[in-house]
A and B are shown apart, each in its own frame.
Chain A
């Protein structure tokens, strides 16, 4: 039994088509307004960050009953909790009485949340437990579902990744993910027990639209320019016999086995693994130089011989970008989340992951060595790569102030015969620097902006 509630008085912008989306989003280009207009952003917060599945959190952040973290669905503040019964819920972080933020902490363990304003108390299921001086109300508040906390009507997990949507008629999460599930599975299954645990984050903010990050998430064209300082730094020792990091972008990247693949529903996948030899240790061999790596590598090789290479690969950065529209990107060993703040401000959070010794076969000492190294490999790109990307995003947002210069192009690869192939499963594959993923995801964005999602909140009965 649940109680759904639909909006009686939608905001003025709401679902109204503020523009002709077909004019703004064309086959080869998009209009600057989709990045610069606050009314487009407001509409996105309902149509995209409301109308489709949005990544909320990872289950390892709330492993125990009553654990919670705070998060967001678009701009809506949430408490994401595993309630006393073990059910994962995404509660609006808003008192049902006057709208006060209920919980100000980023994480914790709580059976209930008490409003700091008038003291209304809610169970972590969302149910109102009690209010001070209840005799001052004509009715018994705890009997009326409308005073229970609002929560997302749909919350589903896929292998530890928690998603939510306000769209009650959205397909199941598994259907929505579709073909992108396979790379997600492979990304997880290379780790012991097919799982990872989140362990803090590198957290960035940039003054630019959230889509600039998603545009970039599968972009193989920017690597050697935007990340030239990183590539030069990683390869500054000429006595290294292996080219490190993303050096494979330097020589004709479109002729290499890596590829970009559009996976439907806005998701896409950049797979650089085919550039590597298929053998244990090939990942580790191209890893750039990180604190402690020689110490751990030689210690493990002395102890385990050839078997050390597979262990070291667990600290290596998986060469994939798995992008789940609109706000999740699995890359290297990171879980990156794009969090819109305004039409011209975005938070990009790179959650680190560590591995667990699920069956005791790794042992505590080796586990600690591998995870310590894995922390260091994960700090590399955010420090020496992402800073340059977010700077370029900010500089795009500034460039788009040129009102009369209307268009942004995403047509690399378009119109070249035999460059892009549609596979039997409907996915679309092309060379690594192709912008096909941008054209396809923005087409999905346009579909969602035109759609009429069945938006509702839910309250416990």
Chain B
């Protein structure tokens, strides 16, 4: 049974509740939020640097370091429909909590993940970074929207994956960390060849 006082979300999944899903869907449902736009250039630059840093870490296949960018209770979500839907009622391309995110990295490190043997080489461009205060907890939550192009080289071919990302950052122990990342591929509802890299 759950030890209420202290449990490890890397090992047990107690936090993925209906309320967790509900907040996630609400936070990512509306980006026409000019009234919450962060205009301070220093703060905008801080978040721009954070998403660029994340892209660099992933391009360098430093998945363990990438996991450290996330809060202990987090979500990584690649919807299967352009309007992102509700992950409680429809299948996502990917929907990971902390433990499954670590599963994802563990699998890639087994040496038997044939879809990533050898690993893809990627080159990520991140742009159009916009920063907004959270719908709730405005002091402790930031929503960051950015566009991406990933060029992926695998098995003698280069292909392009593109779309936009929503990052939800939360202040955790005084640091801004990713509490949810939603990756919206522009072809998320189409058949995708070897979708095995971390987006």
Contact = CB atoms under 8 A, between A and B. Distances in A.
A binds B: yes
Interface of A: 106, 199-207, 226, 228-230, 232-233, 236-237, 289-295, 298, 347-352, 354, 365, 368-369, 371-372, 375-376, 378-379, 383-384, 387-388, 390-392, 394
Contacts of B191: 203-205, 347-349
Contact of A376 (B85, B95, B190): B95
Contacts of A383: 94, 104
Interface stretch (B10-18, B54-62, B124-132, B165-173): B10-18
Contacts of B106: 232-233, 236
In the A-B complex, the 4 residue pairs with the closest CB atoms: A292-B16, A352-B91, A291-B97, A205-B191
B115 A294 contact: no
Interface in B90-105: 90-97, 99-100, 103-104
B99 A379 contact: no
A167 B192 CA distance: 32
B115 A291 contact: no
A233 B111 CA distance: 11
A387 B96 contact: no
B89 A371 contact: yes
B99 A387 contact: no
B194 A391 contact: yes
Given A294-B14, A391-B114, A289 B107 contact: no
B103 A379 contact: no
B1 interface: yes
Contact of B90 (A106, A199, A230, A390): A199
A229 B21 contact: no
A291 B193 CA distance: 25
A204 B193 contact: yes
A379 B94 contact: yes
Given A229-B114, A379-B91, A295 B196 contact: no
B13 A291 contact: yes
B18 A290 contact: no
A200 B89 CA distance: 9
B13 A375 contact: no
B97 A292 contact: yes
Given A352-B91, A369-B18, A229 B112 contact: yes
B80 to A, nearest CB: 5
Interface of B: 1-2, 11-18, 21, 80-81, 85, 87-97, 99-100, 103-104, 106-108, 110-115, 155, 189-196
Residue from A230, A350, A387, A392 whose CB has the most chain B CB atoms within 10 Å:
A387
The interface residues of chain A, by DSSP majority, are classed as helix
Given A291-B100, A375-B88, A388-B113, A204 B192 contact: yes
Given A199-B90, A292-B13, A371-B88, 17 more contacts: A199-B89, A200-B91, A200-B189, A201-B91, A205-B192, A229-B111, A229-B113, A233-B110, A292-B97, A294-B13, A295-B16, A295-B17, A368-B18, A368-B88, A372-B21, A383-B94, A391-B114
Contacts of A206: 193-194
A291 B18 CA distance: 12
A356 to B, nearest CB: 12
Nearest to B106: A233
A298 B4 CA distance: 13
Contact of B115 (A202, A237, A354, A387): A387
A105 to B, nearest CB: 12
A233 B103 contact: yes
Contacts of A203: 80, 189-192
A365 B21 CA distance: 14
B80 A201 contact: yes
Given A204-B191, A229-B110, A378-B91, A388 B115 contact: yes
Nearest to A289: B99
Contacts of A205: 191-193
A63 to B, nearest CB: 15
